[in-house]
Every structure is written in structure tokens, then in C-alpha cells.
Structure 1
């Protein structure tokens, strides 16, 4: 549940926030605004230090009510010399509620518009990483929920500025101990500025032991002194692995104009790359991403496994993009999705029923009796309700991403082979004609990525599998919508009861079939019958309503070829060494809407040595597999 905060009446608009857990205030006696500006922002030499830089990364220990982030964001927005990208990474073991974060800004009217935007994204804060996006993707807040020492072991970046914040060392010694500072030091480069309000001797000694050179400076009343300094150890720090170098934007060719390729192109273009997207089709989303509509819903497992955690990170990323780029109703709708667990019950993690019940309910919870009745399912039917879910028209998202400034799409360009060239790669067609050259190439052509990877490196045979799928759909008629559930249902195939029809109007859609090792997207009458049979198990009442449509041929179908991996996780990473400039982003199976946006941001983060949007171990799980390595 959200951290309990007591609001003490001190005559201000919002009151003074107090933590019963630690017996301490969230901000200084005179309010937190001066502390955020003078102690942290100016203590790290900002905004002057980031002037003219392509990106800047701030690390904060203790998000609290988010005031330091709001002040830093406001300073970035007001600065004409601001960096193109601002990363703010903050740790928090006991996250406050969105309502308390907004209330904490009421004393500072100039911050309220920023706080309102922040409040809208502060949901579902389960343990782990949560990437929140502002200013069209130029301000990225990575909230790391958990113990600072543990969560920083899952990050890989070099901070430019460090805000050491938290309740007093006497009240919360864990966040000020030597091991915490060692974790912070691992995220610093030589010269990283650091600032804090405490001058406790134990803090100064521990910082010095970790390589920080700090000095007392005049504080703001009632505090006489603060600490400022930088990471500048007298020794050469030993690292398990060298941090990645920050790469300057250049030219890139993305092969494939589906969800994966368009997401990568947009993420790189937002960072200044010039991206050419090549595709064999005459229009974007000509392959599996041409599905009339797809469902977006998280995976749930009792042990909250890698797939489950990644799916939540991916859904948050996709929802952010949909809200920013798509038209509600015609391109997408956040309706929620009911999962009817017909094959086996989906057990929620035990901690979701106690410590994290409120945050978990933002994601998934047992379906209510009312929701089951709306699907004509019995009250005892095993089912979950996924609140932050819905349907999306994939082609709409693809086209929105391809419209990002810096992205050029070229159709009828079937890439067949890759050749090394000076400073990069040449992309050739089947006749050997050059289609494009670039420093960086990203393979996002679904199952076709396998042959392209082999052409570039004969020792590489990616473990990608073609999976043909067919959906069945039909137009709405008067009264039909009232006979179907008011929201999508999945669990054994799916039913989207009301989505835009390919030719206009509204349609219902069910499926999809799942046929391994078939790269041909032909339409088959047998698959329509298969989709009906599964719907009869998933939603017997809805299947009965639609039965006549199937029997009289009042149905249509769409087929496409998805691409999957043995792990059921996407394949995201380099082919050969990082210096070769060849990446693959593929293998998303039936979860392209879930994973594409996240993978695009993860690829960009690794290229630019940015903070990761997910934990390191989750990112490592996406390393491309080869056939020999299975």
C-alpha cells in the first residue's frame, strides 16, 4: 500500500508532510522548494553544468514526494541551453501515493502543472523499475522501487549529478551507510558532482571512503552548512565491467516497418539519429503488424517471473506512446481486459495480496462478479481483470512512430544481404543493388531477420521461429454490440467486441490461430472454425451470438506471420560485437504491442549509455539466442 503520510497543519496550502515510519519531516522547516533549488540543483552546479550537453543524468537517493525531480524538470524546461535529454533516476523503498505527491506541490504554485503531469503517471508502483515519460520523451524519470543498494546493482549508467536525499541519518541510517554510498559510487564517473543537506560526520567519512571529495558550504537557514563535492577517488576504481561509452547520434538503417522497427526508429530519432526504415511492403505495417486490432494485457505468474515483469514495463511504455500519439476510439481504447483462465487458474504473487495490494490492483486483480456477469460467465469462473489494458490498432502506432522527425520510410525495398563497409554497413537487395548504407543497422524484419543476420555473419543463426496466425472478424449489426461483452476478453484466443473495421465502421474480432514453422500468411477456412471452437470455450454466450455469422459465411479473416523465440521473450541485442554496429530487435511473438516500445527504448539506452528502463537482469534476458546455443 502507499506509504502513510501525516499532513501537519502549518498554515500552508498543503500542510507539512510527516513520516510516521521514520518520525521525520519530508522537507525542511521553511519548505522544500529552497532546499531543492539551493542544496541540490545549485549544489550540483545546475543548470550551468548541463548547458549544451546532449544528455544529462541525475541520480537521487530517496524520491519522497518528488520535489527535487519537479524542480529539476522545471529548471530544464526554462533553460534555452538545456540538454536534448534529461534522465532522472530516483530510488524509493516506500513510495508515496500520487495524491500525496500532488498535495506536496500545493505550496508551490509554479510546480503544480508539473506535479499534475507526474501524478497521472504514478500508478502501479510495484517493486522494480518504472519509466515515466514527459516532454515528448525528452525528460525521463526512472523510479526504482526498492532498497537503494539493491536497485542500483540492477542499473548500468554514469550519473552526471547526484542528489543524496532522505530522512535524517539518525532516523533512516540505511540510506546513509557505507554500502549505499558504494552503490552510488559505482554509478559515478570521475567528476560527478554530489550534493546533500546533511553534514553528519558519519556521512562525510563514508563518502570519503568511497572516493568522494566533499566540503562544507554555507547552508540555507535554519541549517548553517550543507555538503558539496565530486567523485574523484585517489585510486582507479575497479569495475566488474567498464561502463559503456556514450555514443553520438549518426545514421541508422532499420530493416522492417512493423511495430519493432518503427519503435526503434522513433526512439533513435528522438535522440538525434537520422534513421532510414526499409521495408519490402508497399505500406508500413504490411506484415504481422497489419493485424486489424490487437490486445494489450500483462502476463501474470505466481513467482512474478521475467516475462511478467517485462510485460508490465512494456505495457507502461506502450500506454505512454498511445496516449501521446494516438486518437482514442479510432486507434486505441484503454478499456481494460478480462482474462478468463480456462486452461489453468492464474495465481497472483503472494505479496500482491498484502504489502503491495494497491499498486498490484492498478495492474491485475480478480475479476468482479459484475464483470463476469457482463461476459455471461458464472460467478465462480476463474478470471482476472487487467485494469491498464485495452486494444490498439498496430498500424496506427507504426505510422505515428514513422512520422517522428528524423525518420524516413522507404517501401518496396526488400533487403536481402548485409555487407561490411567502411564505417558501417551496406544493405543490398536480392540482385546485389545497394539500398542504403549506415553506421548502424537494426534487424527488425520478424522471421526475415534470421536470414539477414546469417548474411552479415555466417556464424550467426538466430533462434527465431515463424508462427502463422489468423483472426476472424465481422462487421457490427444493430443490436450486436449489446449482446457481446463491453470489453475485450482473452485467455484462450481472445474476443475484441468493438474495434475499427478494416473498411470502416465497427467490427468484432476473435482469434488468433497459432501455427509453428509456417512463414506463409494464407487464409484458411479451417482456422476460422478453429477460432470459433476456442471462442465457444472462452465465451460460450458470445460464441452463440456469433455462431450464425460463421455458419452463413458472414465473416472475414486476416492472417499474418509472427516471429517468436524459444524463451517467449523478445530478441534484443548485438550480433557480433557492439563495435560492429549490427543489432537485432525481433521475436516478439504475439506480444508486439507489449514489447515494441520498451525494446526501442532499451536499445537506445544501451547505445547511449543511458539508465536502463528495466532491471539489468531483465535486459540481459533478451540477449539474442542462436540455434547452436539452444
Structure 2
């Protein structure tokens, strides 16, 4: 599961070299020249992207990132460039940021592009990493891991392929018939390809997969290279919105992220919020905690939380300023059994220490600034966030493109058969907003709308306590979690939570005492300075689904059949949801918004196919249909 960074080595002529594959990363005749001649000109770029709304490049083998730097520089220099450029690249052995800085120093012509890439370079963990440049108009999606595993998980329609793996003789996995078939599945009609190699079995394999391939004069001292076009006319269903307008129901973490990600693509978005201001209910806590989830088997929840955690961190720098802090999160084991499991997870996963590491109780106590009873995980990039400010930052990020209507409770949602618009109305039947696309993101209030009434959403009530900073704690300003969590102070108040409570419960001395008891088990003795009767707090609901994964994606049409593959389930045109985030709204919210915007706009998805399917709101109907079919077979 772990990602092994590429070792940094050079040949005597200064060419970067891989000892793993015993091959160079580019020709000794010059890396930038090879990149421009073989891959840009070989795919008729920049001409091919001119006048396009979206253009997508897929590269096999990111290496030092030279092809990306060259492509980004060409895009920036082209006044007729496409509106949005997606660059997708897979890499099994990525370089560290320090190695990239060393490598990029030899290409001063790309100094700006290199600095931008280095600043965004992700923690080297497996899976998809989405990075944005130039206010989101350039998107780099890095697939870290084995191409044979990750490329089949990619959902995209590709316009140009850069086949840039090491020599087929040294790295045959990147030149296999199975991989060529995967590329063909991803190709748009007339998609182009280019590669430095001219190996006969590569040419034949690409032809068998549906590409028309020709030999071309090679670069530098190489006699030939290959280029081609995807020759099969596979129909591509691309969303065609005559008006790029959407309405979003709910202005919490889910709705704000969906609105922001669509507005970043130039959409006009109207957000309907029943409360007097955004983020007043489930997303309204004084301080929330952003951290990933780890599991021994790296299950769906862990993978989704990892991708969402890292994507959320990358978004913070792109948004207007809001209250948050990357203080780190210490997650302590509940008991000896979990302590052993936590240590085993880290030893098995091999995560980089700047993502997650294990520490014993002594080290954890030193880090916390107070004695803790157990060992735990340390997430150095874990953060505290003021959720209402985070939501407002997203809603204000694109000026007039996002319009928020407060005290606007959507009681009905219906599709106008004439215009095809979704129309939201209040309880009196008054129209609130209309748009060709609607996103339901209002937690369990969604159960009052006909289109989402059957979804298996439920609330779990939690009560948090606010601890005044005037009563000092020995703990340092990090987030500490065990069977509760304690945050640094914001505006003089720490958040301590959370205790499960009955529906409708609000903060009172009973629940404050329960939270203080948890504080004492997490930081022994630190609870004694607080008197429950003097404390304040709030109760809030955590809406979740039976499998503890969110519901994000297109909603099934009324009367849709579920006894078919999920991809063939009929969907309501233009209707989507983002629901059931539970306690993971901060980790999943931004990623869910990006997933929805990508689905709506027909762009490459930011997550693996199985993760998108695991979040599909139609999954429960499909599972029920499968179970019914099994029972019929048994009977």
C-alpha cells in the first residue's frame, strides 16, 4: 500500500536516471526539447486545444514532471488556449518535493511552473491527488501507484495521450495489451497519442486496441517514434447544459462546497438556506476537526477520507481567508487492543511521517503538554476549522456567481416539463429558485423532499461543550482525540465533545458533565477546573447512512429499475445530492463538491471509480434489488 519515492540519481552527462528501471527519464539530447517535440507537437498541441472548453491529457509516467511543466507553460503562453486543461498522470515511484526542486533547477525556462508544482506537491500516499493551478483553470490529477491498478479506476474522456513510460524492455507493465485497452476505453473519438518509443509490439498492441498508429521521425538521435489517433467512433455522452445554472438546497459544508466548485467553473449558483445564515445547524459547531481515517485493510472509508483530507488542505490556500489552523491532531487509542492495532496499521501502511505516524504514550504526552494514558496516531497536517467561516469563505469565493437566499426553506422540488428546470418552492408553493441542475444538500431535511424521501438517512444527536480559556489547561494548542476531542481555543473558547444524546437534546449540565468525564479519561486531571453548571455548548445532528459513507452523485429517476448494473440505473436529469456526511463533513465536503462538479460538467473524476460507486446514492436500491434476486433464487 505504501508509495516508495524514486531515488534521485544522474548519469555522468547530467541526465536523470532511474536505478529501479535502469533507464533515463529523458533523452540525453535535452529533456525540454524532447517534451515539446515528442509530446506537444506529437499531439498537435497547442493547436488541438484551441477553442475548446475543456481539454484532457493523460500521461503514463509522471517522473520529474517535465511534460506537465512543458504543457503548462505552453497553455499559459497561448492566448487561444482552452478554458480548462486537465492533465492526468500516473506514477508508481514519485519523487519527493526536495528531489523535484533539485531536478527542476536544471530547467530555468520553467522556473515559474516548477515553483507552482513544488508548492502544491502532495504527501506521497496512494490514490488520486487533485491539484489546481491558475485559479482552477488547470487541474493536475496525480495517480500515485501502479498504473495497471489505477488507470482502470479512472473515469475520464481523454483528448491526448503522452505514453512516456520507461523503455518497453525495462518497464513492460506500462506497455501491455491490457493497458492499451484501458487507454482505448478512456479515449474520445479522434484522440491523439504520441510516444518516444517505436517498438513493434507497442505499435501492434495500440492498433489492436483501436488506434491508427504511424511511425514518425524520432527526436534527437532516435530514428523513429510513434504517433496515432483513436480510430473507433465510440459515442461519448457529454453533458450539454444550455444554461450553466444550478440551485443548491442547503448552505452547510456540503452545499457550500458544491456551490463553490461549480462557480469555479463559471456556473451561476443559487443557494437556498432555511436558517437566517449559512452553517447554522449540522455545520455550525464553533470548532471542527479535520483528520483522516486509517484502517488495517485501507477500506473504502479510509481511502475516501484520505483523498478528502488532502484535497481539503489543498483548497484552503485557494479560498478567501477564514479561521483555521494546521496545529496537528493526536488521536489516542481507546484501550490496549486499539493501541496494538494502531501501531500495526502504521507499520503495515508505511505512510510518510508528514501524513501519519505512531507514537508511544511518553512521546504523545510530551507532544500534548500533559500526561496521556495511551499511545496514538499523530497527524501533523490535521487541523482545526471554524465551520461557519469555512462555509462563508466558499460561498464568497466567486463573487456574484453564488447567490445565497436565507430563510428560504425548500419544501417542494419539481421539474418543469416545459423548460426542464428544477423548481424549488416553499411550503406555500411560492417559487424560490429554478435551474437545469439541482443539488440536494440539506442533511436529513432531504427526507421531506419527494426525490430523496426514500434514502436511508438517519440522525445521531451529539452535544459539545465550550470550555472558556480563562480556566487554563496544561494541554498544548493541538487537537487531542480519544473517546472525545479537545480543540485549541478560538475566540477564547475550546470545544470539547461529543457525547451521544437523545433526539432534540440540547447542551445542559448533564451533558457537560459527560463530556468532562471523557476529558478526564483523555487528559487525566484536566477536567477538575470546570463546573458543569457554568458551561455552555450546543447540540447538533450528524446525518449518516447505514454504511457510514456519504451519498454523493446523480439521483435515480422516479420509478427507476435497480436490477441492472449501477451505471445503467436511470437517473433524474440534472438532479444530484450530497448527503450523509456524519462526522466527516470537513474531510468529505470539499471532495464531494469537486466530485459533483466533475460529474455535472463531464470532467475527469477526482476519485477512483470504486469510490465514486461507493458514494452513489442509488447504491441502496441496487443492493436491495440484488438481495431480492438472491432470495428468489434460494426459494
Same fold (TM over 0.5): yes
The answer for the alignment partner of 1:121 in structure 2 is 120
Cα offset for 1:289? 1.3
In structure 1, the residue corresponding to 2:526 is in which secondary structure? Answer: helix
Distance in 2 (CA, whole Å) between partners of 1:580 and 1:349 is 47
Which of these residues, 304, 309, 321, is aligned with residue 310 of structure 1?
304
Task: Answer whether contact 1:304 1:349 (CA < 8 A) is retained.
Answer: no
Distance of aligned partners of 1:114 and 1:491 in 2 relative to their CA distance in 1, 3 Å threshold: farther
Question: Which secondary structure does the structure 1 equivalent of 2:283 belong to?
Answer: helix
The structural deviation recorded for 1:244 is 4.6
Aligned mates of 2:30, 2:344 — CA distance in 1: 39
Q: CA deviation at 1:96?
A: 2.0
Given candidates 485, 492, 498, the residue that maps to 1:494 is: 485
Equivalent of residue 315 in structure 2, options 315, 321, 326: 321
Q: Which residue of 1 aligns with 2:250?
A: 256
Distance apart, 1:620 and its partner CA: 0.6
1:532-567 residue CA offsets vs partner (Å, 9 max, x unmatched): 111111221432xxx33225x442212222211111
Once the two structures are superposed, what CA deviation does each residue of 1:557-610 show, in whole Å capped at 9, x if it has no partner?
122222111111111122224352211101101111110000001111112222
Matches within 5 A, 1:206-225: 206-225=205-224
Cα 1:351–1:70 change in 2 (3 A) is farther
Please tell me whether the aligned partners of residues 352 and 360 of structure 1 are also in contact (alpha carbons under 8 angstroms): no
Q: Secondary structure at the match of 2:279?
A: coil
Is 2:529 the counterpart of 1:548? Answer: yes
- Residue 407 of structure 1 and its aligned partner are, at CA, apart by 1.0
Q: Which residue of 2 aligns with 1:450?
A: 447
- For structure 1, the 5+ residue unaligned runs are none
Structure 1 residues 224 and 541, CA gap change in structure 2 (3 angstroms) = farther
- For residues 566-577 of structure 1, the aligned pairs below 5 Å read 566-575=546-555, 576=557, 577=570
Matches within 5 A, 1:361-400: 361-367=353-359, 369-375=362-368, 381-400=374-393
The residue aligned with 1:595 is 588
**Shift, 1:118, TM fit:** 1.9
Cα drift, residue 617 of structure 1: 0.5
The separation in 2 between residues aligned to 1:63 and 1:337, in whole angstroms, is 32
Cα-Cα RMSD:
2.2
Determine the structure 1 residue equivalent to 2:602: 609
In the other structure, the counterpart of 1:337 is: 329
The aligned counterpart of 1:32 is 31
State how far apart, in whole Å, the 1-side matches of 2:109 and 2:70 are. Answer: 10
Aligned with 2:29: secondary structure? coil
User: Which whole-Å CA distance do the structure 1 matches of 2:614 and 2:404 have between them?
Assistant: 30
Question: Normalising by structure 2, what TM-score?
Answer: 0.89
1:323 shift after superposition: 2.2
What per-residue deviation string (whole Å, max 9, x for no partner) do you get for residues 21-56 of structure 1?
Answer: 111111110221011111101211111111121111
- Is the 8 Å Cα contact of residues 465 and 563 (structure 1) preserved in structure 2? yes
CA contact (8 A) 1:87 1:140 kept: yes
1:510 matched to 2:496: yes
C-alpha separation in 2, matches of 1:75 and 1:528: 59
State the 1:243 CA deviation.
5.6
Which residue number corresponds to residue 534 of structure 1? Answer: 518
Cα distance in 2, alignment partners of residues 414 and 380 from structure 1:
47
**How many residue pairs get matched?**
599
**Structure 2 SS opposite 1:512:** strand
The offset of 1:521, in angstroms, is 6.3
Match of 1:408 among 403, 409, 416: 403
In the TM superposition, residue 435 of structure 1 has moved relative to its aligned partner by 0.7
CA distance in 2, matches of 1:146, 1:38: 28
Of 509, 513, 528 in structure 2, the residue corresponding to residue 525 of structure 1 is 509
C-alpha distance in 1, partners of 2:343/2:63? 26
Q: What SS class does the counterpart of residue 112 from structure 1 fall into?
A: helix
CA offsets 1:458-482 (integer angstroms, 9 cap, x no match): xx5111112222211133228x26x
1:108 aligns with 2:96: no
Name the CA shift for 1:428/1:488 in 2 (closer, same or farther; >3 Å). same
1:280 to 1:245, Cα distance in 2 relative to 1, 3 A = same
Q: Counterpart of 1:185?
A: 184
CA contact (8 A) 1:511 1:531 kept: yes
Tell me the secondary structure at the aligned position of residue 578 of structure 2.
strand
TM, length-normalised to structure 1? 0.90
Residue 471 in structure 1 maps to residue 464 in structure 2: yes
The residue that corresponds to 2:566 in the other structure is: none
Q: Is the CA contact 1:124–1:361 (under 8 Å) kept in the aligned structure 2?
A: no
User: Once the 2 structures are TM-superposed, how far is the Cα of residue 222 of structure 1 from its aligned partner?
Assistant: 1.6
Are 2:247 and 1:270 aligned?
no
Whole-angstrom CA distance in 2 between matches of 1:348 and 1:619: 27
Contact 2:467/2:496 (CA < 8 Å) preserved in 1?
A: no
**2:562 corresponding residue in structure 1:** none
Change (3 A) 1:96 1:376: closer
What SS class does the counterpart of residue 460 from structure 2 fall into? strand
Task: Please name the residue that 1:287 is paired with.
Answer: 281
1:404/1:108 Cα in 2 relative to 1: closer, same or farther (>3 Å)?
same
